[in-house]
Chains A and B, each alone.
Chain A
Amino acid sequence: DAKTTQPPSMDCAEGRAANLPCNHSTISGNEYVYWYRQIHSQGPQYIIHGLKNNETNEMASLIITEDRKSSTLILPHATLRDTAVYYCIVRVATGGFKTIFGAGTRLFVKA
């Protein structure tokens, strides 16, 4: 699985959009970009994933650059409950889940 690079922490005002970047310059053609988050003292929670097209679900949007070397997770209207560590991982869609989650980005949503 390709390696990812994320900023260690970010702040966001409540109600504003939170844009979390991720670099994955060594991503291969069959690898997807997945985002998870981990709220303090809880297990990881799946957010969204994509291959090359932008994706949107009820939680977030995922914007993947045309060369697929980076992506941005967007939480359109951040709330205090979105304060968590956000992990970007790249991996093939199936075949077992061996990926190591890295350090992630700690997002602080402030009132």
Chain B
Amino acid sequence: DTAVSQTPKYLVTQMGNDKSIKCEQNLGHDTMYWYKQDSKKFLKIMFSYNNKELIINETVPNRFSPKSPDKAHLNLHINSLELGDSAVYFCASSPRRLAGANEQYFGPGTRLTVT
């Protein structure tokens, strides 16, 4: 059973398009996250939701809009895609909002390529 799953695994699209990445966790965790890993392999947090409430928003362009229909799902919608959005996006979850780094579980990632 996959703990944190993401779809799609690969996404290739053109500039200006709108796309969504879905994330689901079956761990019963309260908190979910979106991270972006750029070409230099730096992994940076974008958003965090706790029980469907946004708790971290790290100065991400408002073209990125996370949506949490329930605490097991955190989807990422991106409007007007730009070349610089090309990266690998990781979803993660943890048992609670103040969880230690050892309690975060990451999904397999979605590689987004904008052409």
Contact = CB atoms under 8 A, between A and B. Distances in A.
Interface string A26-41: 0000001010100001
A6 B44 CA distance: 18
Majority-rule SS of A interface residues: loop
B89 to A, nearest CB: 10
B43 A41 contact: no
A49 B109 contact: no
Nearest to B97: A96
B106 A101 contact: no
B69 interface: no
Given A43-B90, A49-B102, A93-B100, A100 B109 contact: no
Given A96-B56, A103-B40, A103-B42, A43 B101 contact: no
Interface string B78-94: 00000000000010101
Contacts of A34: 101-102
Given A43-B106, A94-B100, 6 more contacts: A43-B92, A43-B108, A44-B106, A97-B33, A99-B45, A103-B41
Question: Would you list the 7 A-B pairs with minimal beta carbon distance, nearest first?
Answer: A43-B106, A101-B43, A94-B98, A93-B100, A34-B101, A100-B44, A44-B106
